[in-house]
Copies of this chain bind each other. A is one copy, B any other.
Amino acid sequence: MEATQDTQGRVEAAQSVPGHGGPRSAGTRRAILDAARSAFAAQGYDRATIRSIAATAGVDASMVMRYFESKAGLFAAVATADVPVLDLAAVPPDRRGEALVRHLIERWEAPASGDELMLLLRTAVTSGEVATQLQAVLAKLIVGPIAATGAADADVRGALVQSQLLGVALCRYVLRQEPLASLPIEHVVASIAPSVQRYLDTP
């Protein structure tokens, strides 16, 4: 019996987007998306709940279902991970290791893309489907640029670089293991870069 006066932010409701069930209100949609990204990043897919995401977004849980079809649909909508790609060929060959490390760390430190990488990694370890999705992102982010430099065995080199870069991300950002988690960025870059450089160079 209570009049809900939220009459604000409904101005932008005019757009209708392609395909199947489009967004209803851009503001609400974005609020849900933001809450979901944080929740999935912080807790992983299983422990994050639709109800708590909805509460954070300030809407009812059923709204989440109307906007995105299911919990899986919400995750898919938030797990796009369209991170900027590094043009490795434009970097001097002896600096490519450092460039890769720095680029990856910057992706993880940036709040938005860091959350997307976090939720992807946190969920990939228990979901084969998401693991495939993560591999696709890493292929675009790491193997692609390496292959674009014309290196031989780009797939194996990429896999080795991935293992080191994902390892750093896992220890530093997901597990938050000391002392790695508190090491200054430049220290990390200086320590790791030579290894990555070696994976790029050795035949």
Does A192 lie at the interface of the complex (its beta carbon under 8 Å from any beta carbon of B)? yes
Is A141 an interface position by the 8 A CB rule? Answer: no
* CB within 8 Å for A135 and B175 given contacts A47-B126, A194-B198, A198-B195: yes
Closest B residue to A180 using CB positions: B159
When distances are taken between beta carbons in the complex, the residues of chain B under 8 Å from A156 are: 179, 183, 191
One complex includes copies of this chain to the number of: 2
Contact with B along A33-61 (1 / 0, CB 8 A): 00000000001101100000000000000
Stretch of A21-29, A65-73, A144-152, A165-173 at the chain-chain interface: A165-173
Contacts A163-B172, A191-B199 aside, 18 further interface pairs with beta carbons under 8 A come to A44-B125, A44-B126, A46-B47, A46-B126, A125-B170, A125-B175, A131-B175, A138-B177, A159-B177, A159-B183, A160-B192, A163-B167, A163-B180, A164-B167, A164-B195, A166-B170, A167-B167, A198-B198
A: which residues have CB within 8 A of B? Answer: 43-44, 46-47, 121-122, 124-126, 131, 134-135, 138, 155-156, 159-160, 162-168, 170-172, 174-180, 183, 191-192, 194-195, 198-199, 202
